Structure 1
Amino acid sequence: MTDLALSVVWPDQERARTSLLERVAPWCKAQWAAGHRLELQIRLHEDAKTDRQRKYYHGVVLKTIAAQARPNDQQFPLKVWKEHFREEYLGYKTVTTKNPLTGKKMRRRVRVSSEDLGVKGYSQLIDRVSAFAASELGVTFPASFEQWERMQVDADTGEIIGAITP
């Protein structure tokens, strides 16, 4: 069976060049030979880390809160908790734009999304939400949560030191 995706990390130009010639090009040729169409997507490597953070936030933190938290003897779904914590910890920003028809400036409130966060910001969101859930809602997180707590984020670069293991 053919691999459906290829993922490579390029820490510098020379390794990118080598990887393109030795891994990416042969893989692409094999896929084209098999009749597949390809799509290329290149993004900052940091995004891959926030993808893992996002999976952890939704799959462990919010899921656990939705399952255990019962404020005022009521249970709420994950989506409700996600929006509550987004509003509580990320809030809104004011955006000023010009109306193209009148030329007048307009201001409006726009919600800040967790998608706008980098590695460090997402890590801080996870820490704040989990601390609130544990202290105020009595939520106990599974053993895998301890792995997240041991993970450190470099304060200068925002780089994750360590790895999330499922």
Structure 2
Amino acid sequence: MGQGGGVNSLYREFTLRSPADAGAMVNFIKSNAAAFVDKGTPLRVIVTEEEMDRLDEQIKYYFGVVVKAIAEQVWVAGRQFDKDVWHEQLAKQFLPTKELVMPDGEIVLKRSSIARGQISLKRMGKYLQEVEAYAATEHGVRFE
């Protein structure tokens, strides 16, 4: 089953750590390519290097310094908001959304996550920079 797709969606990832892994990928493509071309939905192959997962230190810094400072220093319309609210707002604002097709056909937009295995080291670093720049520029937040 595909990522958020219907029952008939094809999705398969291969991590190439050895020649045998590469052979399995080639065999999978050979076994399926013609059938999908015949259906009018050719396969798409993307090759990229595996990115390192975000670090626990990045998460500690994000919640313990960045979001904490925002929650303590920012007032909006005469009130403050806690760290959970700010995290949801920031993630919604700066992380990409994905479409999920529900079993009843409804399409739901879901924001990306910063959970382990869900965001790369590089993307988490970019997210931190975007959040800090936004907080400092738009709300005057000072970070220790």
- What's the TM-score, normalizing by structure 1? 0.50
SS in 1 for 2:81: coil
**1:106–1:78 distance in 2 versus 1, CA, 3 Å:** closer
Find out whether 1:71 has 2:96 as its counterpart.
no
Aligned counterparts of 2:56 and 2:78: Cα–Cα separation in 1: 33
Find out whether 1:140 has 2:142 as its counterpart.
yes
Find out whether 1:83 has 2:88 as its counterpart.
yes
Aligned counterparts of 2:106 and 2:81: Cα–Cα separation in 1: 36
**1:66–1:96 distance in 2 versus 1, CA, 3 Å:** same
Aligned partner of 1:120: which letter?
K
Runs of 4+ in 1 over 2 A off after TM superposition: 104-111
1:21-72 superposed Cα distances (whole Å, 9 cap, x missing partner):
xxxxxxxxxxxxxxxxxxxxxxx9x44x521101100000000110111122
Aligned to 1:114: 114
Aligned partner of 2:108: which letter?
R
CA deviation after TM superposition for structure 1 residue 105, in Å:
6.3
CA deviation after TM superposition for structure 1 residue 73, in Å:
2.4
Aligned counterparts of 1:121 and 1:62: Cα–Cα separation in 2: 17
Aligned to 2:130: 128
SS in 2 for 1:76: coil
Higher relative contact order (CA 8 A, sep 6+): 2
Of 54, 58, 68, the match for 1:53: 58
Give the percent of matched residue pairs that are identical in Structure 1 and Structure 2: 34
Aligned partner of 1:89: which letter?
F
Gaps of 5+ in 1: 1-43, 143-166
Cα RMSD after superposing both structures = 2.4
Gaps of 5+ in 2: 1-49
Aligned partner of 1:114: which letter?
I
Aligned counterparts of 1:62 and 1:117: Cα–Cα separation in 2: 18
CA deviation after TM superposition for structure 1 residue 91, in Å:
4.1
SS in 2 for 1:72: coil
SS in 2 for 1:93: strand
